[in-house]
């Protein structure tokens, strides 16, 4: 796992944790859900799409091209978008019952 991915995962988990805490929901559960919402789609995309695409490109010049570089790092964007969608459509719509 790359260092950037670790930082992003911790940041998303903290973001979900603090939001759930402010909403009065189960903060630890939502923190873990945020990390999973980022990691699973990001690494799935990396393994199934971006790595095979970059490895299929022949030659050093093609591998150092801008588009190949974008594709090889697209997994970060996929994970961020998915985490944001989970945040917007699930975390923010949680119904917390008053004790």
Q: What is the pLDDT of residues 35-89, one digit of tens each?
A: 999 999 999 999 999 888 888 876 665 667 788 888 888 999 999 999 999 999 9
Cα separation, 53 vs 14, whole angstroms: 32
Q: 26: which DSSP letter?
A: -
Q: For residue 55, is it within any domain?
A: yes
Domain span holding position 11: 3-91
Those residues whose C-beta lies under 8 Å from the C-beta of residue 23, and which sit 6 or more positions away, are 91, 92, 94, 96
Question: Within a domain: residue 97?
Answer: no
Is residue 98 one of the residues assigned to a domain?
Answer: no
- What's the number of domains the chain is made of? 1
pTM for this prediction: 0.85
66 within a domain of the structure (yes/no): yes
17, part of any domain: yes
- The structure tokens 């690494």 sit at 43
Residue 34 belongs to some domain of the structure = yes
Report if residue 86 sits inside a domain: yes
- Residue 8 belongs to a domain: yes
Q: Which two tokens stand for residue 70?
A: 């974008």
Kindly indicate the confidence band of residue 1, based on its pLDDT and cuts at 50, 70 and 90.
low
């Amino acid at each position: 796992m790359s260092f950037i991915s670790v930082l992003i995962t911790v940041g998303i988990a903290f973001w979900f944790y603090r939001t759930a805490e402010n909403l009065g929901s189960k903060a630890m559960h939502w923190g873990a859900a945020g990390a999973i919402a980022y990691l699973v789609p990001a690494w799935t995309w990396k393994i199934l799409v971006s790595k095979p695409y970059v490895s299929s490109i022949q030659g050093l010049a093609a591998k150092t091209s801008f588009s190949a570089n974008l594709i090889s790092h697209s997994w970060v964007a996929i994970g961020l978008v998915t985490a944001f969608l989970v945040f917007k459509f699930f975390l923010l719509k949680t119904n917390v019952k008053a004790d």
